Amino acid sequence: MTQLVLCDVEVDGVPGSTVEIRDGSIAEVGVGLKPASDAAVIDGRGGALVPGLHDHHIHLHATAAERLSVRCGPPQVRTADELAEALRSASGDSIRGVGYFESVAGMLDSQLLDRLHAERPVRVQHRSGALWVLNSAAAAQAHLDTADHPGVERDDDGRPTGRVWRADTWLRDRLPATAPPTLDEVGAELARYGVTGLTDATPDLSPSSLTALVDAHTGGAVPQRLHLLGAPPDFVSPENTITSGPFKIVLADSGLPDLDGLAEKIAQMHAEGRAVAVHCVSREAFALLVAVFTEVGAHPGDRLEHGALIPADSIDDLLRLGLRVVTQPGFIADRGDSYLRDVDPRDIDDLYRCRSLVDAGVPLALSSDAPYGPMDPWQIIAAATTRRAGSGAVVGPAERLDPLRALAGLLSPANDPGGPPRAIRPGEPADLVLLDAPLAEVLEAPSSSAVRTTVIGGRIVHG
């Protein structure tokens, strides 16, 4: 039985099309189709109908937690005095801060954070997501003095500095227990943006975090299909709407692994039939990664996360190795002025490459890395096409994508990021976005305000 019909929509540039949906899938696509009498009909009024957008790298619980946290960096907080006031004004027995950047008060440690706020336990996350800094009260809660985790930084005398690198799950387990944050607002906002699928890139999901994600999806708080990099390799939901992805490996700049250890880990995953998704944001990490993949070879589906800095003379290495890149041009819009000020000018053109990768034939997918980057996919499309920072300065103009190619970076399947974009054709899942104008018009000035209706599995989740 026909359940939903979208009529007078533009599909693949063809105006006046009709799309019929039955049992969660696209049943028919054509011009002049007559809806069944019992169908629910949406009049598209000439707007484009496109496949639902997929964010190929997001951190759902961190995104929800950020909304409950104190902003500790620009633009809300720009000086040490403003940071102290933000911490003082925060409610609760302990304080979780996010978005810190060194321009506010330098490189934080326990002593400096104590001077800003010592009355309650405080932990502040760097805007990169790579570092937490704890004041003395929080460090005592986490027992940093007796910790043996390699991410716990120590001074020359062996005392913890309060800086904890790349140890989110470990740190959370040592602090007073809290339930994972609810995801209702995040799921609803993503639906308003036209996002129908998500790849959660959090590594090593704890059992409680995995259960919370599954419950949020099955309960409807997160209606989007989920692809989890931190789930066990054989994890899949009964309806196949939650799947596991490649194994996430983080190359932390605070302590890069040795080549042999990294090679052994990647080879182990490949032997188990699993691809890897490797976090890589620096020139040093990229060189290490290329060397390792040259030694052990690549597996279908291996992906490089971020690719924040890819030297021009190494693009051919990506193509030779068969690696794909999942990047975030939204950082150019969000932090471009900081990059222009703080990054070595010789590296500017290597930041968050897009056009040069596409031209070389390297599969490229776009994503948000929320909460660390802008979550709105239409902002990401705009950033990829203009490369404009907040001031209007252009960062890496040669890396600009045309709007259709930028959109395509958000339309590839979860298990094939950077592959051919999904299409509206019979037999495909009915994950769709109805826009309020023809696609060419919307892409002239990409904005989430153009999203009228979002459909996932044939069910309207927004609009």
3-state secondary structure of 98: strand
Q: Are residues 250 and 313 in the same domain?
A: yes
- The alpha carbon of 257 is separated from its chain's Cα centroid by a whole number of angstroms, namely 24
pTM for this one? 0.92
Q: Are residues 411 and 286 in the same domain?
A: yes
pLDDT tens sequence across 166-185: 888 889 888 887 878 999 99
Q: Are residues 437 and 462 in the same domain?
A: yes
Cα separations (Å) of 297 from 267, 311, 321? Answer: 8, 20, 7
Q: Which of 154, 174, 194 is the last residue of a domain?
A: 174
Q: Are residues 186 and 304 in the same domain?
A: yes
Among candidates 375, 371, 367, which has minimal Cα distance to 406?
367
pLDDT tens sequence across 126-156: 998 889 999 999 999 999 999 999 899 999 9
Q: Are residues 386 and 428 in the same domain?
A: no
Q: Scan for tokens 């019992």, then name that residue.
A: 38
C-beta separation of 226 from 200 below 8 A = yes
Backbone angles phi, psi at 163, to 5 degrees: -90, 130
User: What is the Cα–Cα distance from 412 to 416, expressed in whole angstroms?
Assistant: 6
Q: Are residues 19 and 3 in the same domain?
A: yes
3-state secondary structure of 221: coil
**Residues constituting the chain:** 463
- The alpha carbon of 432 is separated from its chain's Cα centroid by a whole number of angstroms, namely 20
For residue 264, the number of C-alpha atoms closer than 13 Å in the C-beta half-sphere is 5
**Helix (H) or strand (E) run with residue 344 in it:** none
Q: Are residues 14 and 84 in the same domain?
A: no
Q: Are residues 271 and 207 in the same domain?
A: yes
Residue 430 lies in a domain: yes
3-state secondary structure of 278: strand
CATH of the domain at 140: 3.10.310.70
Q: Are residues 243 and 381 in the same domain?
A: yes
User: Residue 46 has which token pair?
Assistant: 């000439």
Q: Are residues 98 and 207 in the same domain?
A: no
Band of pLDDT at residue 2, cut at 50, 70 and 90: low
CATH of the domain at 42: 2.30.40.10
Residue 65 lies in a domain: no
Range of the domain at 110: 70-174
Residue 275 lies in a domain: yes
CATH of the domain at 373: 3.20.20.140
User: Residue 206 has which token pair?
Assistant: 């704890």
Q: Are residues 285 and 309 in the same domain?
A: yes
Residue 85 lies in a domain: yes
pLDDT tens sequence across 19-42: 999 999 999 999 989 888 788 999
User: Residue 404 has which token pair?
Assistant: 């259709």
User: How many domains is the chain partitioned into structurally?
Assistant: 3
User: What is the Cα–Cα distance from 234 to 240, expressed in whole angstroms?
Assistant: 12
Q: Are residues 378 and 276 in the same domain?
A: yes
Average pLDDT, the chain: 95
